[in-house]
Structure 1
Amino acid sequence: MSSIQFSRAASFTVATLALVGCFIASGVPVPLYNLYRVENGITDADLALTTVFYLLCTALSLLFFGRLSNHLGRRTVVFGAVLTALAGCLVFMQVQSLPVLILGRALQGIACGAASSAAGAMAIDFSPRSRLRWLPSVVTSNLPIFAIPVGAIASGVLVEYFPHPRILSFAIMASILAIVAVLIPFCPETADRKPGALRSLIPRVEIPQGAGRAVFATGAGLLATWSWGGFFQAFSPGLTSDYLGTSNALAIAVVFASFTILSPLGGAASARIRAVPSLRLGLVLFSISVVLIAVTLHAGSILWLLLAALVAGFFNGQSNNSGMRAVFEYVTPSGRAGTLATIYLISYLCSAVPGLFAGELSRHLPIPHIASLYAGLAIFGTLVALIVARPKATK
């Protein structure tokens, strides 16, 4: 252990940077997808499959490693997650075929899964003891979603306007992750090492006592919102190029980012509203927004598509943050990592499973029709959440 120890605030910042850094890295490849389509013959269905591999690897990482930081310590698992994300960047520098693309995406998925639980729990451990107590829920529920489009937009600029488009953005991201990795050992450890690390790898879904209804309602909301995140990740290059008339890498990144860029704002804006009413309101308005997205796709209007996606992203943030708060009303400190892993596991499965079917459907249906099916799925998830969600009973 380092003799120099960061303060609580500095450690919170490092944990947040580790979490955000892994997710920023996962957004970097998106603007390159159209380049891979044109130069390497990778199809929309292949990209959808790649997205499914990324999401499933994230989910499996959460399932197997979600509680590991309770035994090895937060820093060890966070450090491993950052190094895995760095390795993913190095693999992406070599992409010339679908298997290499899938490998790079799989490494990023493993990194995001491990960071979601360990870095998220570490950020909560060091959370501010002040009026900013709402900040950890925004960091854990909204910042990862926000970080992916940030990485995509930055990468889109580099791909479109700078040399070496296949390498430069990954080289920069790898350097940033290396710096974060160097900072992690200077943070105090908040989870002492204890026996049972191997036993913790046995898959187990952890639901806090009394939180079953809250987890079910939040999961239904995540089906509505995260399924659309998978849609934009898989199909943004195709719909931008084929339906909106441009193959500009930055335009692809902007279309992809439009859905999630306002998520943290929605999460922060809803922080003072009670969790369950905020969840219900956010999901209803989200469903209306994604119906508008499907309509604008059929009309081929990029301006209205972007506006509808921005609005959906705001309410995506509100509902995700509210669902997280509703669940964490039941969580004890020792259950933070496991509960976070459970919520993120549900999130990624809700994105991966629809994506698996959508990838196959894309061989037979145009993207606007697939968007309509996703809108129907969002309405279904919203209705279930509205029926199930209940405020926590007070004694």
Structure 2
Amino acid sequence: MHNTAPVTDPVVRVRTHRLAFFSAVISLVAVFAAVGSTIPLFNVYRAENGFTNAEISITVVAYSVATLATLLFLGRLSGHLGRRPVSIASLILLLLGCLLLLDVHDIGILIAGRVLMGLGAGLASSSLTSYIVDAAPPKPAWLASVASSQTVMLGLAVGAVASGALVQYAPWPRDLIYLVVIGLLLLSVALIAVSPETATPMPGAWRSLRPRVGLPARVRRLLPVAAAVFLATWAAGAFYQAFVPALVEDQLHTRSTLVLGVTFAAYMGPSVLGAPLGGRFTSARAQRVGMIGFLVGMIGVITAIGTGTLVLFIAATVVAGASQGIAISAATRGLLHGSILADRAPTFSVIYLLSYSGATIPALIAGQLTHIFSLPEISLAYGALALVSTLFTVLGARNPQLSAIANSQDVQ
């Protein structure tokens, strides 16, 4: 059993922290590969189990709510109990979710499995990302931020594409991807178990369960535009999970689960380009550029749905995905401008609230409206949300004030 105290000898620290960094990165990829693996199976569940589009949308909402609740209430727990135990707990929750999804025979099982995945993903988003930052080598300087932020998108893309390929070409189409992911999660548990701890356990775990939500006064004026960015882009992400599986089959005339996985990856994957591309501009300009590109992509997506053009749909998805990455990273950068350590947890709580609200509320409403409107009509509503958010961003985006850093009290 490894010592739970952080390694202090410099030579040993470099060697053992390389293992911790590698283990945490692999584990975070495994977590979100598990999350992404379910998406290509939605059409299988629709066809074989008779699940409706409204029921599928509920699973997306359930996942998002579980993730948000975990981030808000348990997001600081690894700083008190240690990165390793909390990271292992997150992986176990994902394992339980995958085991449950091996026997999907009614919508309740699918919802429960996605809830467990949401709890695990939320816990991993705080503990494993912190573990990566703790253990990252000092050079190159950008490695910690890129590995902690973009590994999530990599995992989602890998999980979706691998699932689509296995469902279409391999035996046991409903089960094999979950068995593969379970193996990857077990490997991740083993890696974390033999890796060193990077955080000194400290008292206050119960107090850390109380959410801290607020923004420093100096960046409060940036919140309305940032909210528009988060709401529109995360709503589109939920749209791709809840409704694009059916749209790909019904409007784009393909039942290929591999194509469906590639389509989902085409939205998530290119967003990794957002931070480096957006970093070339000021926060305000990057938000404008990102949202205009996002709107262009969404217009292309809606056009492709109307004309039944798969190639245009994927190309427009890539544009929307890369552009939303630019806008999201710029909005986050603006809200974190001049932040001190005490500011960051409450600020990220605000970001999580807005982002997951954007994912859940439109998906919940749209899911109920599928009884009245067709999916192409539902997609027009998402396009309208993108248009309104883009106009608001173009007209209202501002850069953070370079002064007044001293005025950093939180608004609780």
Q: TM-score, normalised by structure 2?
A: 0.88
Deviation at 1:49, TM superposition (A): 1.0
Q: Report if aligned partners of 2:302, 2:376 keep a CA contact under 8 Å in 1.
A: yes
Deviation at 1:338, TM superposition (A): 5.2
Aligned mate of 2:71, from 50, 62, 74: 62
Deviation at 1:141, TM superposition (A): 4.1
Deviation at 1:314, TM superposition (A): 1.0
Deviation at 1:25, TM superposition (A): 0.5
Deviation at 1:282, TM superposition (A): 1.0
Tell me, what secondary structure is at the counterpart of 1:365? coil
Question: Equivalents in 1 of 2:222, 2:90: separation in Å?
Answer: 29
Deviation at 1:294, TM superposition (A): 1.3
Question: Equivalents in 2 of 1:384, 1:96: separation in Å?
Answer: 44
Query: What pairs up with 1:254-293 in 2 under 5 angstroms?
Result: 254-293=262-301
Q: Report if aligned partners of 1:67, 1:338 keep a CA contact under 8 Å in 2.
A: no
Query: What pairs up with 1:218-229 in 2 under 5 angstroms?
Result: 218-229=226-237
Match in the other structure for 1:350: 358
Q: Deviations over 1:295-337 (max 9, x none)?
A: 2212221111111111111112222222233333333346555
2:99 is matched by which residue type in structure 1?
L
Tell me, what secondary structure is at the counterpart of 1:261? helix
Match in the other structure for 1:2: 2
Q: Report if aligned partners of 1:81, 1:115 keep a CA contact under 8 Å in 2.
A: yes
Match in the other structure for 1:125: 134
Deviation at 1:30, TM superposition (A): 1.2
Match in the other structure for 2:35: 26
Q: Report if aligned partners of 2:129, 2:149 keep a CA contact under 8 Å in 1.
A: no
Question: Equivalents in 2 of 1:221, 1:276: separation in Å?
Answer: 11
- Which structure's CA Rg is the greater one? 2
Q: Report if aligned partners of 1:279, 1:320 keep a CA contact under 8 Å in 2.
A: yes
Question: Equivalents in 1 of 2:372, 2:150: separation in Å?
Answer: 34
2:86 is matched by which residue type in structure 1?
V
Question: Equivalents in 2 of 1:346, 1:189: separation in Å?
Answer: 32
Question: Equivalents in 2 of 1:156, 1:391: separation in Å?
Answer: 42
Question: Equivalents in 2 of 1:89, 1:145: separation in Å?
Answer: 19
Q: Report if aligned partners of 1:72, 1:194 keep a CA contact under 8 Å in 2.
A: yes
Question: Equivalents in 2 of 1:60, 1:99: separation in Å?
Answer: 20
Where structure 1 has 5 or more consecutive residues not aligned to the other structure, the ranges are none
Aligned mate of 2:104, from 95, 104, 109: 95
Aligned Cα RMSD in Å? 2.3
1:96 is matched by which residue type in structure 2?
H
Question: Equivalents in 2 of 1:98, 1:304: separation in Å?
Answer: 33
Match in the other structure for 1:174: 182
Question: Equivalents in 2 of 1:334, 1:115: separation in Å?
Answer: 21
Deviates more, 1:144-153 or 1:309-318: 144-153
Deviation at 1:272, TM superposition (A): 4.0
What's the % identity of the aligned pairs? Answer: 36
Q: Report if aligned partners of 1:241, 1:247 keep a CA contact under 8 Å in 2.
A: yes
Deviation at 1:152, TM superposition (A): 0.9
Q: Report if aligned partners of 1:24, 1:151 keep a CA contact under 8 Å in 2.
A: yes
1:60 is matched by which residue type in structure 2?
A
Matched, 1:302 2:303: no
Q: Deviations over 1:230-255 (max 9, x none)?
A: 00100122111111112221122122
Deviation at 1:215, TM superposition (A): 4.7
Q: Report if aligned partners of 1:292, 1:308 keep a CA contact under 8 Å in 2.
A: yes
Match in the other structure for 1:205: 213
Matched, 1:116 2:129: no
Deviation at 1:24, TM superposition (A): 1.2
2:277 is matched by which residue type in structure 1?
A
Aligned mate of 1:315, from 323, 329, 341: 323
- The 1:84–1:390 alpha-carbon spacing in structure 2 relative to 1, beyond 3 Å, is same
Match in the other structure for 2:378: 370
Question: Equivalents in 1 of 2:31, 2:74: separation in Å?
Answer: 16
Question: Equivalents in 1 of 2:235, 2:280: separation in Å?
Answer: 27
Question: Equivalents in 2 of 1:110, 1:82: separation in Å?
Answer: 10
Deviation at 1:188, TM superposition (A): 4.1
Deviation at 1:201, TM superposition (A): 1.6
Task: Give aligned pairs, total.
Answer: 394
Question: Equivalents in 1 of 2:31, 2:222: separation in Å?
Answer: 28
